Amino acid sequence: MLRYFFPLLLVFSFLCSSADAREGMWLPLLIEKFNIEEMHQKGYKLTAEDIYSINSASMKDGVVIFGGGCSGGVISDKGLLLTNHHCAYSLIQSHSTVEEDYLTHGFVAQDYSEEMVNPNLSVTFLKYMEEVTDYIFKGVDDDMSEAVRDSVISENSRSLERSVTEDTHYDASVESFYFGNSYYLFVYEEFNDVRMVAVPPSSIGKFGGDTDNWVWPRHSGDFAFFRIYADKDNNPARYSVDNVPYRPAYSFPISISGVNEGDFTMLMGYPGSTFSYSTSHHIEMLTQYVYPVLIDMRSLKLDVMNYYMDSDDKVRIAYAAKNSSVSNAWKRWQGEINGLERFEVINKKSSFERDFDRWVEEEPDKRVAYKGLTDGFEQLYSDYKEVYLARLWFLEVIGRNGIETLRTAAFFDRLAAAYSVDEPDNTFIEGEKERIEELLNTHFKDFYLPIDTAIAYKLFSGADTLFTDEIYEPLDNIFSIYSETGEPGEFFKEMFNSTPFSDAGTALDYLHSFDGDAASDYRSKPEVLLYNAMRDVYNNVISPVNVRNTQKLDSLKRLYIDGIKKFVTDEKIYPDANFTMRLSYGSAGGYTPSDAVWYNYYTTGKGVLEKYRTGDPDYYIDQRLIDLLESGDFGRYGNEKGELPVCFVATNHTSGGNSGSVVINHNGEIVGINFDRAWDGVMSDLYFSDKICRNISVDIRYILYILDEYMDADYIIDELDIKM
């Protein structure tokens, strides 16, 4: 045993950074088995049953998926919901005009009738979860190819999902854990009538802007209130004037007693994706090959957007959500590189892999399944990295934040195809024209041609040096045929001068006159040819290789995590996040980001005023808030020092998707709402260290103070269960 003493110490320090903070995002169903004893040691006063129960209301019944990618918490018995301002940003934008600019001025309803309808918004509750590994593995054997194995598992999953939701209004999803070693069933209830109740102005909700994104110290009031509506029987229903506020099974009480250094904190929500068990080869590919290219692409997009947004309020409103979306990952990638390099994560993972290989060699017959795993990872990532980058590069060009005119041209693809048959289906054609008209009206509401033109010119600069001819040559051929010089810049100049997809009027006229002759002309348009060339390369060259390599990686990872569990026998290994409900716990506490620097664990209203006085437009606040903060009268929302707490940091392990997650104290009461991570430790999706990884939350006392004193939102305050 002594020969493994030192390697295992390395393993423990690698997998779990410290005894003071619990790394990991844990399944609520398994808290009793894995975590409750440690949670009690750290200060938690309630039971595992209070967190997750099938037989009675529990905290899991007050936690929701908000929209498609955030979390939220129910905070009243009338269906009131708390989430982040940035999670609601596009919704606020959709209600805003230059005349009624809710992004700038905020919004607060004074009664139910003023709450704003959001046609495309839903929230989702988890009804229950259970392990179903044995069922999912029926018919699976070790001799199957990865593709056949996936097919059997997929069919078993669909069969189970159908069986548990038949004759109900519930949805179900079977999800993989530990890279396919375990499977769990999740059953959900979705509500589609969710109305906006109150949002602060962006000068509060987005205070700090992109300057402070991913940064601590932070002073953002990043919160928003919505209300869930149901039919008279409390069941989900589409919007109707007859719907009534939802009566939840559970709603969280709120504590204004505050958070002190070292206090237990717990967070429940839906983290998106983590990659905690990635090998050194994956980290090296990201930091040295992929991220630098993506950062450059996003930098040029932001430069273009910012230039035009700064000079026109209409453009600023139209591109506010797009700019935030582009900026978010751009800054995170830079933080990940810095954090991974600072903690020498490639070296640490390489050391772990060498220890793992030595463990395998000690008993090669018994551990033959794990032999050569790390060599397999090394070879695969070497072969894979160009296609990995190409996939992300193509999405940056024709994806959601890419060249919008190319994607707009693609709206007409199905319509043109409908005219290509001998007997066109007029009913389909009319329906398709209605669909496209709706898409065009939505698109052009938030579109500015000079931005799209400038981004298109710049995205292809130097791209031909990144990829093989197989990937890039089809695009180069389009540029050569449809421009005099064969250069992408010349191609886009000519394209934007002739395209009918550059403004709403021209595009709608083109749609209304679209017929068989137009369909033929459509297929030959340069913008359509370029989009189709990129789509064909993506579907026929990039995607098949990506699928094959992903299957190989899945097979390697499944064996690797199985081996890690046997190698580290005394350590609880948590599953990576996959946008299923998780719980993380830790404690409030400051940290040292660099030599001779110490960050306190909380910020105050004083810091809001200090940042405002720098003159930076990201730190603008109006005179009303200035007067309130300067008054020093914070009533029951102030701390024992007479300060107004604004934000705090803690060691909870979080990821994308945890935005809007309620932060809970030892008594199960909300003390804040999570909205970000500190940039110094943003690499926590890949490597967690409690020395520097911190989640950032708005203190509930600041939220209530803004509601009460700034927004005059007694309508909301009066229905909350507030504990002193």
Of 503, 532, 559, which closes a domain? 559
Peptide bond into 217 cis (omega under 30): yes
Backbone angles phi, psi at 563, to 5 degrees: -65, -40
Whether 59 contacts 252, CB under 8 Å:
yes
pLDDT at 1: 33
Pair (269, 286) in one structural domain: no
Residues 391, 215: Cα–Cα separation, whole Å: 29
Pair (207, 245) in one structural domain: yes
Tell me the CATH number at 620. 2.40.10.120
Of 512, 531, 559, which closes a domain? 559
Pair (219, 246) in one structural domain: yes
Pair (373, 522) in one structural domain: yes
Considering the domain boundaries, does residue 293 fall inside one? yes
- From the list 37, 10, 135, 42, the residue with the least C-alpha distance to 588 is 42
Considering the domain boundaries, does residue 166 fall inside one? no
pLDDT at 569: 79
Catalytic-labelled residue, pool 86, 281, 282, 653: 86
pLDDT at 606: 98
Number of structural domains, the chain? 2
Stretch (H or E) spanning 81: strand 80-83
What is the DSSP annotation of 30-46? GHHHHTHHHHHHHT--S
The residue to which tokens 């596009």 are assigned: 90
pLDDT at 68: 86
DSSP three-state, residue 428: helix
Considering the domain boundaries, does residue 568 fall inside one? no
Considering the domain boundaries, does residue 141 fall inside one? no
DSSP three-state, residue 197: strand
Backbone angles phi, psi at 155, to 5 degrees: -65, -40
Region label for 454, one of left (φ > 0), alpha (ψ between -120 and 50) or beta (otherwise): alpha
Tabulate helix, strand, coil % of the chain (nearest 5): 50, 15, 35
Stretch (H or E) spanning 388: helix 373-398
Neighbour count for residue 334 (Cβ, 10 Å): 18
**Token digits of residue 72:** 């939220």
Q: What angle do CA 252, 256, 258 make, to 5 degrees?
A: 110
Of 535, 559, 583, which closes a domain? 559
**Average pLDDT per 10 consecutive residues for the chain, totaling 724 residues:** 37 43 88 95 97 96 96 98 96 91 95 96 98 97 90 97 97 96 98 98 95 94 98 97 98 97 98 96 97 96 95 90 90 94 96 96 92 96 94 94 94 94 92 96 94 94 90 93 88 93 95 93 94 96 94 93 89 92 98 94 98 94 98 96 98 97 98 96 95 97 98 95 93
Which residues partner with 18 through β-bridges? Answer: 21
The residue to which tokens 């088995």 are assigned: 33
Through-space distance between the first and last CA atoms of the chain, rounded to whole angstroms: 53
Pair (543, 429) in one structural domain: yes
Catalytic-labelled residue, pool 50, 222, 676, 699: 222
> What is residue 638's DSSP assignment?
S
pLDDT at 6: 35
pLDDT at 146: 86
Considering the domain boundaries, does residue 632 fall inside one? yes
pLDDT at 210: 84
- Residue 659 is among the residues annotated as catalytic for this protein: yes
Whether 162 contacts 209, CB under 8 Å:
no
Considering the domain boundaries, does residue 180 fall inside one? no
- Residue 282 is among the residues annotated as catalytic for this protein: no
Containing domain of residue 453, as a range?
280-559
Backbone angles phi, psi at 526, to 5 degrees: -55, -40
Catalytic-labelled residue, pool 255, 276, 659, 689: 659
| Sequence-distant (≥ 6) Cβ neighbours of residue 699 within 8 angstroms | 258, 259, 602, 645, 646, 647, 648, 671, 672
Pair (553, 593) in one structural domain: no
Pair (639, 511) in one structural domain: no
Q: What's the burial of 530, exposed, middle or buried (CB within 10 Å: 0-12/13-18/19+)?
A: buried
pLDDT at 3: 37
Pair (531, 598) in one structural domain: no
pLDDT at 19: 37
Whether 39 contacts 31, CB under 8 Å:
yes
- Residue 173 is among the residues annotated as catalytic for this protein: no
Pair (658, 706) in one structural domain: yes
**Single pTM value for the model:** 0.88
Whether 238 contacts 222, CB under 8 Å:
no
Pair (439, 523) in one structural domain: yes
- What's the length of the chain? 724
Considering the domain boundaries, does residue 131 fall inside one? no
What is the DSSP annotation of 106-166? -EE-SSGGGPEE-TT--EEEEEEEEE-HHHHTTT--TTS-HHHHHHHHHHHHHHHHHHHHT
Considering the domain boundaries, does residue 689 fall inside one? yes
pLDDT at 92: 96
Pair (362, 249) in one structural domain: no
Pair (271, 293) in one structural domain: no
